């Protein structure tokens, strides 16, 4: 085993070791890693053996830049990574996990080795990651061909690992330094608004029970939004609750299509108010919009219900899905009517500027 510094001489030695099929302990911006050339199957196998890693668990790649990462991830996932790279985010897509480290010496090493290295943390499986060369040596360094000493790792914590599904939905596989917004809602309309605003977020459906204060729509949406957020663990949690208010009555989600038809009959030809409460890390804001329905025949209502099947929408309608069939006009935030107003997101710094109409 050869011990070198993270200088030009050490870089040359590390390149020679890896390109000849060896394995090396290298520094990164997060923790020390155990690296091998991806094209050398025997070297990659040694990573598993030395670390005693489960053969079913893949080993991520470190790339020297975003262009190199995109070769493995595809455009959508690479675009997500590019917003955080170089940095402590590992993006998983298309069966690969890839990261671009914020460590100039390490990126130079990766570049000299062809643009990518297989790298796993330099510790025995199940143990704490090594944050300096001494700890790495103690754990597994004596089984490596070379150890690079760069002092204490600046990050000290393994990267955040996020999986990007084919539809763009993000799932956190390992918590780490990079924190994402959590949307505590299964609403596809709220998710669409956040995506359209360019927000990166994960989805955790809240199981909070909803309450109704029949004479107080603002209190209803406020308390429900807060409860939904509180039911989801973590920070940067965004939650919301939306109701329709007409004739001193709250219209929530209809329990079935028959009730949806009744809601629409009562609302058609009239103006109602949409209230949405939005909560973020314990703070809540309420927005309202006014919506006027067209005068609809029973057949038009039936056609809309069959087309949209709006049992998961407050008031039994969706302004963004065939809304032109039933909505005459509206005032206020369009996104509020959809279920997530933009204005509070701007105030909280979740989005950089108003995107709505």
Q: Could you report the per-residue pLDDT of 320-339, keeping only the tens digit for each?
A: 989 999 999 999 999 999 99
Q: What's the whole-number average pLDDT of the chain?
A: 95
Mean pLDDT, range 210-215, rounded to an integer = 94
Among 4, 29, 247, CA closest to 141: 4
- Return d(Cα 61, Cα 56) in angstroms, integer: 16
Only one residue has tokens 């402590």, namely 88
Mean pLDDT, range 132-150, rounded to an integer = 93
Which homologous superfamily does the CATH classification assign to the domain defined by 2-162? DHBP synthase (3.90.870.10)
Q: Domains of the chain: which residue ranges?
A: 2-162, 179-347
CB atoms within 10 A of CB 128: 12
Reduced to 3 states, what is the DSSP secondary structure of residue 347? helix
Q: What is the pLDDT of residue 352?
A: 84
Percent of the chain with pLDDT over 90: 92
Residue 354 reports pLDDT greater than 70: no
Q: What is the pLDDT of residue 357?
A: 37
Among 29, 13, 62, CA closest to 152: 29
Mean pLDDT, range 68-83, rounded to an integer = 93
Only one residue has tokens 């995506």, namely 195
Percent of the chain with pLDDT over 70: 99
Q: What is the pLDDT of residue 210?
A: 93
Contact of 267 with 251, CB cutoff 8 Å: yes
pLDDT-based confidence at residue 356 (cuts at 50, 70, 90): very low
Q: What is the pLDDT of residue 347?
A: 96
Please write the tens of the pLDDT for every residue from 33-44.
999 999 999 999
Q: What is the pLDDT of residue 166?
A: 86
Mean pLDDT, range 156-174, rounded to an integer = 92
Q: What is the pLDDT of residue 353?
A: 67
Which of 267 and 140 is assigned the larger pLDDT? 267
Residue 119 reports pLDDT greater than 60: yes
Please state which CATH number belongs to domain 179-347.
Answer: 3.90.950.10
**Catalytic residue list:** 241
pLDDT-based confidence at residue 145 (cuts at 50, 70, 90): very high
Residue 341 reports pLDDT greater than 60: yes
- Return d(Cα 352, Cα 346) in angstroms, integer: 6
């Amino acid at each position: 085993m050869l011990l070198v510094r993270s200088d030009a001489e050490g870089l040359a030695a590390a390149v020679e070791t890896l390109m000849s099929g060896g394995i090396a302990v290298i520094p990164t911006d997060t923790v020390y890693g155990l690296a091998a050339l991806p094209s050398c199957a025997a070297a990659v196998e040694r990573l598993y053996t030395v670390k005693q890693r489960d053969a079913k668990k893949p080993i991520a790649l470190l790339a020297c830049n975003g262009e190199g990462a995109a070769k493995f991830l595809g455009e959508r996932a690479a675009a997500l990574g590019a917003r955080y790279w170089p940095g402590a985010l590992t993006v998983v897509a298309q069966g690969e996990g890839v990261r671009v480290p914020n460590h100039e010496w390490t990126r130079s090493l990766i570049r000299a080795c062809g643009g990518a290295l297989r790298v796993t943390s330099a510790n025995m499986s199940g143990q704490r990651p090594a944050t300096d060369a001494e700890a790495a040596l103690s754990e597994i360094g004596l089984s490596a061909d070379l150890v690079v000493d760069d002092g204490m790792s600046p990050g000290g914590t393994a990267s955040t690992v996020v999986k990007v599904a084919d539809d763009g939905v993000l799932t956190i596989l390992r918590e780490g330094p990079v924190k994402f917004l959590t949307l505590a809602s299964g609403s596809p309309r709220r998710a669409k608004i956040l995506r359209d605003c360019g927000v990166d977020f994960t989805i955790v459906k809240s199981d909070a029970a909803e309450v109704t204060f029949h004479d107080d729509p603002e209190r209803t949406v406020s308390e429900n939004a807060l409860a939904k957020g509180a039911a989801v663990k973590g920070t940067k949690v965004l939650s919301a609750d939306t109701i329709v208010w007409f004739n001193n009555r709250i219209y929530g989600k209809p329990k079935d299509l028959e009730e949806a038809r009744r809601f629409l009959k009562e609302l058609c030809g009239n103006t109602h108010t949409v209230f949405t409460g939005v909560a973020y890390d314990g703070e809540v804001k309420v927005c309202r919009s006014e919506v006027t329905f067209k005068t609809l025949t029973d057949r038009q209502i039936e056609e809309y219900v069959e087309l949209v099947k709006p049992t998961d929408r407050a008031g039994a309608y969706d302004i963004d899905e065939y809304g032109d069939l039933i909505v005459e006009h509206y005032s206020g935030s369009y996104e509020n009517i959809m279920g997530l107003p933009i204005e509070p997101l701007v105030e909280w710094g979740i989005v950089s500027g108003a995107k709505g109409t």
